Structure 1
Amino acid sequence: MTIYLYTANQIPDFSPYRSPNDPHDGLICLTETIEPQHLLAAYPHGAFPWYEDDENRVYWFTQNPRAVLLPEKLHIRQSLQKTLRRQAHKITVNHCFDDVIEQCATIKRAGQGGSWISARFQAAYRALHRMGHAHSFECWLPENGDWALAGGLYGVQIGSVFYGESMFSRQANASQMAFAHAVPFLRECGIRLIDCQQDTDHLRQFGSQLMNLRDFKDHLRQYNAQPLTRPIVREMLFQAA
């Protein structure tokens, strides 16, 4: 299979189905740039940017099978339920998107030497946020008599699909607390499917499941065309002092 490199002014065709036996493990194409137009073309076809190399080529992938979460099947383990009941916390939506994506890019993770969220990636998603298609959820915890940003997550919303991208925690459980509040809120807004991309133990604890890529893309064709029942805007989602 030939992997094409698209020049700066070209938007790839992300639609071709890739079989589970793809020898490139889901790599679809490379681009010289990453812009909001690339993202809006990629996500509805199940593609996403993963990283860029030293020559500033962006690598676009799909994943088969795909890890997804149906909002109505969210599971919150008992220990996290206790934390949510006992820990003073505040959850906001779209209060500091730039800070969230920057933290996701810089926070150190076990077993990873660095982040794929380069400055160009951040710029593209920030532009998408200004267009109303990228959203952040923030978890604030008490610190020195005030609220401090302790964790959060961001993703892309097209129609009634939310494509989760990354999360971070500066304090234990902070990103999980944000996620536990975000999923019911997204369901209230009309989100029918949450794309988790990678199958991880962390997401399986929340009830994620694997879906064949062909079925996943069928769902995308249906749900990307369905508008939200409630807009995802800047707001205070929850506060427990």
Structure 2
Amino acid sequence: MITVLTDDLWFPDPEKAPRDFPLALGGDLKPERLLFAYSLGIFPWYSEEEPILWWCPDPRMVLFLDKLKISRSLKKILKKDIFHIKFDTAFDEVITKCAVTLRKDQTGTWLTEEMIDAYKKLHKLGYAHSVEAYKDGKLVGGLYGVSLGGVFFGESMFYEISNASKVAFVNLVLKLREWNFDFIDCQQSTQHLRRFGAEEISRSRFLKLLKKSLRKETKIGRWNTEL
């Protein structure tokens, strides 16, 4: 039986959540609840016609930063320096483009207006961040996510030119290494992320790693970085 949330800032124990089913529904997307959810390994994921659904799947896909894999073809792209990479210069535009990007076997978007507004608020508070790939001064790819402690919770990415989001992602990983982050939470398993070295681990292990990583100081504020 799924838990229905009220206005109280509370979630059921993620350790006891279903493996592939929401652990709760309802509540709200206020910054306090979102940050609390991420700190517990819980994230919202739902469609426009649904109530807010909260997940903590098992297994969990993560990318340990020291296990990043870069294909030969992508290494060539990186050496050509085709894209100008920036951080936190166009968060609103990035999340909007992520919402409208059509994906294989997907007819709609999980990024509702309510979700977009919620993450924009987190960005203004210094917890949500974007990585942008520019070509000839135009935004052509990027990604966004949430940062807490030594974890970056990846949310979504888009590209308008081949390899733009891949280059943005690689540069994010390299910068997170430099900042002493531990891993990226990729949430759901995809072949695309596997190619970068992401792997599935048990929810139990993920929650233990998360708890340890959250002891690190959160890098709050705008990430003013250009590469």
Normalised by the length of structure 1, the TM-score is: 0.89
**Distance 1:135-1:197 versus aligned 2 partners, 3 A rule:** same
CA contact (8 A) 2:2 2:24 kept: yes
How far apart in 1 are the matches of 2:32 and 2:225? 30
How far apart in 2 are the matches of 1:160 and 1:237? 21
State whether structure 2 residue 215 is matched by structure 1 residue 225.
Answer: yes
How far apart in 1 are the matches of 2:208 and 2:186? 16
Report the equivalent of 1:208.
198
How far apart in 1 are the matches of 2:175 and 2:48? 36
CA contact (8 A) 1:18 1:26 kept: no
SS in structure 2 of the partner of residue 222 of structure 1: helix
How far apart in 2 are the matches of 1:183 and 1:227? 18
CA contact (8 A) 2:94 2:144 kept: yes
How far apart in 1 are the matches of 2:95 and 2:33? 18
Task: Look up the equivalent residue of 1:189 and give its one-letter code.
Answer: W
Determine which of 18, 35, 49 is the counterpart of 2:44. 49
**Per-residue deviation at 1:27?**
1.0
Task: Look up the equivalent residue of 1:3 and give its one-letter code.
Answer: I
Report the equivalent of 1:11.
9
Task: Look up the equivalent residue of 1:4 and give its one-letter code.
Answer: T
Listed one character per residue, the Cα deviations across residues 48-97 of structure 1 (whole Å, up to 9, x for unaligned) are 1011452x510011111110001111111111111111252100000011
State whether structure 2 residue 33 is matched by structure 1 residue 38.
Answer: yes
Listed one character per residue, the Cα deviations across residues 81-134 of structure 1 (whole Å, up to 9, x for unaligned) are 111112521000000111111111111112110110111101111111111111
Report the equivalent of 1:187.
177
How far apart in 2 are the matches of 1:30 and 1:227? 30
Listed one character per residue, the Cα deviations across residues 180-230 of structure 1 (whole Å, up to 9, x for unaligned) are 1110101111211110011111001111011110010001111012115x6
Report the equivalent of 1:118.
112
How far apart in 1 are the matches of 2:168 and 2:5? 37
% identity of equivalent residues: 37
Unaligned runs of 5+ in 1: none
How far apart in 2 are the matches of 1:34 and 1:236? 28
The structure richer in strand per residue is 1
Listed one character per residue, the Cα deviations across residues 125-147 of structure 1 (whole Å, up to 9, x for unaligned) are 111111111110000112xxxx1
Task: Look up the equivalent residue of 2:33 and give its one-letter code.
Answer: H
Q: Across the two proteins, how many residue pairs are aligned to each other?
A: 227
CA contact (8 A) 1:100 1:138 kept: yes
How far apart in 2 are the matches of 1:150 and 1:17? 39
Report the equivalent of 1:153.
143
**Per-residue deviation at 1:33?**
2.3
How far apart in 2 are the matches of 1:177 and 1:183? 10
How far apart in 1 are the matches of 2:210 and 2:181? 12
How far apart in 1 are the matches of 2:194 and 2:221? 25
**Distance 1:194-1:160 versus aligned 2 partners, 3 A rule:** same
Task: Look up the equivalent residue of 1:176 and give its one-letter code.
Answer: K
Report the equivalent of 1:27.
22
CA contact (8 A) 1:92 1:234 kept: no
* Cα RMSD (Å): 1.7
Higher-Rg structure is 1
